[in-house]
Amino acid sequence: MASPATAHTAVRSPLDVRVPTEDGRPLDALRFDLAGSPALTRVVADHLRRLGARAQNVDTGETSGSGDTSDDADAGEIALGGAGFAPVTARTAWGARGSGIEDEATAQAATGVMAVHGRRHGAPRGLGVDLLATATGVLTVQGLLAGLVGQARGGPAPRVGTTADRAGLLAVSQYLAAAGADEPEAVEPAPGGPPFTSSDGVLFELETLDPGDWAAFWRALEAPADAIRAGWRPFQFRYATACAPFPVALHEVSRSRTWERVRQAAAVSGAEVCRLRTLAERAGEDDGAAPWSLTTLGAGVTATADAPPAGRPLSGLTVLEAGRRIQAPLAAHLLGLLGARVIRIEPPGGDPLRGMPPACDGISARWLALNRGKEAVEIDIKSPDGRRALRELASEADVFLHNWAPGKAAALELDAEHLAAANPALVYAYTGGWADRIDGAPMGTDFMVQARTGVGEAVHPADEPPVPSLMTLLDVLGGLHGTEAVLAGLLLRERTGHGVRVDSSLLGAADTLLAPALRRAALGEDPRRPGGFRHPLRTSDGWVAPSDASAPAAAAYDVRGMCTEDALDQLRSHGLTATSVTTDLTGLHHDPRLSGPIGRDAHGAPAVPDPWSFA
């Protein structure tokens, strides 16, 4: 990276792709061809268009109704090129050929998503939204963008591969890491969790990161002291365990208080509450905004470097990450898998989440799932010397990525304006909660965004009450959007010679995930899936999950007295598609259905395969 003294000197990239390009449109003048599975390519087509590419040929079978327009009806093929770029191609599929992973339901079953989402219920359940198809689409766009960035830097035009089963493994990677740790969970997983219900029937989500605020909230509602104490730990660890077995007394207390009383308790305690909104409400306020925004900053420079190798298109680039919890650390983790050098900015004494149980070799297994392979430097950003040190690091970096609380970066003079002064070529990335799009929004955490946007309604079928999933759906999908936005920013920098600010959010992730349901709601149709949707069938020794297309017919067969293998044989003998449900995540290590192996890192923690392949 050029020093600040030479940052305004024009340096030509290895591939001459400099053109006047609008803010937010790094794919201006590029075109794409797309064919195959609508489920796997919906997000790809939408995001490529939003980034400025024009469709040259899109054939997903939706006009003919056949749904089979490629060699594989369950696969997608995409080619993106033009404006000086050789075409980058991608193939996306549900899983490996012959694996039995053939749609969203079977992908959720095989990868453990049903097991994790079902923990709060005490049995595996399928998500009513197409999480893995959505995540696979975002990963495919990431691969295409990374291929263009690498090509602009003198690398080859790659062929990218993505599969929904690898997206599923990425989504459960923290839970898998915990299952393979050296010690048990801090809280024994058991059924239960929010939302709470007021006496006047309002379903609401509660959020606080402070045990004092938690206690003050429940004291204001006159909850028993022993229930308050016993409830904090499962509440605190629900992000990690995907369940929260609260004392029954807390639910009883909330059901005896009006919604107004609950709101007053939140106001005086510092905790926050959010009423669960419906999909119809979200559709009525949807502004149609893209899930990220990109804005060019001052004239900068794109560094010259050795051409990156295939599969490592970000090799030679440096990412500074000041991330908390999941969203920003996951985004930076993926940038590292693409070849970037990632340096974490941690507070004095190190990230406290390094010690979060359970551990592998003395380090939190969950922390390793998001942060393995990163370098770390301890900086006190509250001190002038610490902020000066961070600016010096940023002056030599390509990306600065954070998910601090709103307003914190500006208050510390570490926002895009100040860091661009140190490095005009910087891609400054913020992964937040609401992107300033919702007035009066609550705290921008996963479960609050699920509650506010209708995700809690969408993830369960119509015969069940709305309940946000305790699997961290939006933190994971928000992290994927953050990586996508950074890659788009790097490409925009290559094409304009300017630094770029990129913003992504959990709200944007929710909108991407909910797009089909919100369209149904806007048309006045029932946005939720029908009763019993993606409920696996119980066998004598486990569970089987029919594909979505086979589920209505499969429900007619009683397989409760059969072992899983016999149940699958019977369903398949009638021409139905089904697969076994993974209930023990440690079994994923040797599951022949998966398209990539699960390994172990240097600390012995499980490590899922990279979500893309490059050739």
Residues 6+ apart with CB under 8 A from 365: 174, 177, 178, 180, 181, 358, 359, 605, 606
Query: What element of type H or E holds 91?
Result: strand 85-93
Beta strands in 440-598 (DSSP E): 498-505, 537-538, 543-546, 578-580
List 335's β-bridge partners, or say none: none
| Residue from 74, 165, 415, 475 carrying the catalytic annotation | 475
Cα 79 to the center of its chain, rounded Å: 24
Q: What span, in angstroms and rounded, lies between the C-alpha atoms of 91 and 40?
A: 10
Sheet holding 203-207, edge to edge: 196-197, 203-207, 272-275
Q: Is 475 a catalytic residue?
A: yes
Where does residue 496 fall: left (phi above 0), alpha (psi -120 to 50 degrees), or beta otherwise? alpha
Q: Bin 457: left if φ > 0, else alpha if -120 < ψ < 50, else beta.
A: alpha
Q: Return the half-sphere exposure (C-beta side, CA atoms, 13 A cut-off) of residue 525.
A: 10
Task: Name the CA radius of gyration of the chain, rounded.
Answer: 24
Report the number of secondary-structure helices (H) and strands (E) in the chain: 23, 23
Other CB atoms within 10 A of residue 405 CB = 12
Task: Indicate the burial class of 3 (C-beta count within 10 angstroms; 0-12, 13-18, 19 or more).
Answer: exposed
Sequence-distant (6+) residues with CB within 8 A of 237 are: 185, 186, 187, 244
Which residue from 392, 452, 486, 39 is spatially nearest to 272, judged by alpha carbons?
452
Among the listed residues 45, 11, 522, the one whose alpha carbon sits nearest the alpha carbon of residue 280: 522
Q: Which residues are catalytic?
A: 475
